[in-house]
A and B are shown apart, each in its own frame.
Chain A
């Protein structure tokens, strides 16, 4: 079974700063996907970014980018030019790619607060 660890329960930065959220995972599988989800106060989970394990290139989506280190089993999220609307819970998640329909394994989350 896989586990996902987010070691930062809460982080706070000033608007326009860059912030990095950490995530490590443990799995014996070689093919999988990793995700960052955002959950604002509205509670709607939103997919921020996705990384396929077999791709060495780090995924990017506008101001969001990841640093994927497969050997170290590390998957951090970098948010550049942070905005007030980035305030939310952020969850790192894992899914094995060979299983077809399966649930996501989530970390415990990081509460990110962007200060004006």
Chain B
């Protein structure tokens, strides 16, 4: 089974802190994604990556950056966390050959106080 692991289930940070959300997949997937999930808004794409060191902006990249130094790991970075970034963050991955099937992690619920 494909496993997408997000390092934290719950995270509490202070306004202005630099925050790293980590995601690791174990199936050699080329594509990785970060989504943000808010009640009443569904999931929205923040960033994705189709290869090491490559990144593409999604629909809501403002206030976020990403890093992909290794194929299996995709990090979401909040340079200076703000209260409006309190949300659920979901990571996903997919194979280049079966790019339309995305596998999701269990999510990180981030609270910024």
Q: Is the CB of B104 within 8 A of A33?
A: no
Supposing A43-B106, A108-B40 touch, asked if A103 and B100 sit within 8 A by C-beta, the answer is no
A interface: dominant SS: loop
Q: Is the CB of A42 within 8 A of B43?
A: no
Q: How many residues on B have C-beta within 8 angstroms of the other chain's C-beta atoms?
A: 27
- Considering the complex of A and B, which 10 residue pairs feature the smallest CB-CB distances, nearest first? A103-B45, A45-B104, A101-B50, A106-B42, A108-B42, A106-B43, A101-B31, A43-B107, A33-B100, A44-B106
Q: Is the CB of B50 within 8 A of A100?
A: yes
Stretch at the interface among B19-27, B62-70, B88-96: B88-96
Chain A contact residues, CB within 8 Å of chain B: 4, 6, 9, 33, 42-45, 47, 50, 91, 95, 97, 100-109
B44 CB within 8 Å of chain A: yes
